[in-house]
Amino acid sequence: MSSKLDINQLKLYIQSLNIRETNMAKITHRGSWIQISSLNKEDKKNYITSFTLFFIGAFFWGIHLTSVDGIFGPKLEETSTDSLFYHISRAMVIILWAAAAFYQNKFIKTQDEFMQRYYLYLGAWGGIGFVSFGMLFSILSPYLGFSVGFYECFIAWGIGTGIGGYLFDKKYIRHG
């Protein structure tokens, strides 16, 4: 009786694995996006919640950028950057992005090894872009009349991530 029960439990477990594998995220647009409709209900909720919180936090980040020197030029408001409004905006960035990271981590933990490898690949190529393109920006900056800061290095990271997504698609999806 016990062995028959164990076999039935094993069959149920294998079936649950097969169901779960069919609901993994599908990487689309040459490695630059995932198809949200390919996710199951819980993963879709975590993924969309993560991006929603990130974009709301980005709105507050934009408010913060008006109070500091940056890629868009000097700060817009000189006198009121220490107001309660800016303190709340900065706190909202931290809170919302921490919550977004929590939900993104929750999402990625439920994905298969292929999707996790995709995320690691993008992160690694972002680092390569940060170093290589950031170094190029830094070398060219005296000749082009600008100084390299956080935003230029962030753009370099974004370029590297885009290249990484494309190469991942080319190596593991289209020709893998």
Structural Rg of the chain based on CA atoms? 22
Partnered with residue 35 across adjacent β-strands are 26
Same domain for 168 and 147? yes
Same domain for 45 and 79? yes
Residue ending a domain, choose from 66, 85, 110:
110
What's the DSSP call for residue 146?
-
pLDDT tens digits for the chain (176 residues)? 455 556 666 566 555 554 444 457 777 667 666 877 788 899 889 989 999 999 999 999 888 877 776 655 666 666 666 788 889 999 999 999 999 999 999 988 888 888 888 888 999 999 999 999 888 888 888 888 877 777 788 888 999 999 998 898 888 878 75
Residue ending a domain, choose from 110, 128, 143:
110
Full domain range(s) for residue 99: 41-110
Residue 53 · residue 100 · CB < 8 Å? yes
Same domain for 28 and 45? no
d(CA 42, CA 77): 43
**Domain total in the chain:** 2
Q: Residue 70, exposed/middle/buried by CB under 10 A (0-12, 13-18, 19+)?
A: middle
CA distance readout (Å), 99 to 34, 42, 103, 115, 174: 21, 16, 6, 21, 34
Same domain for 20 and 53? no
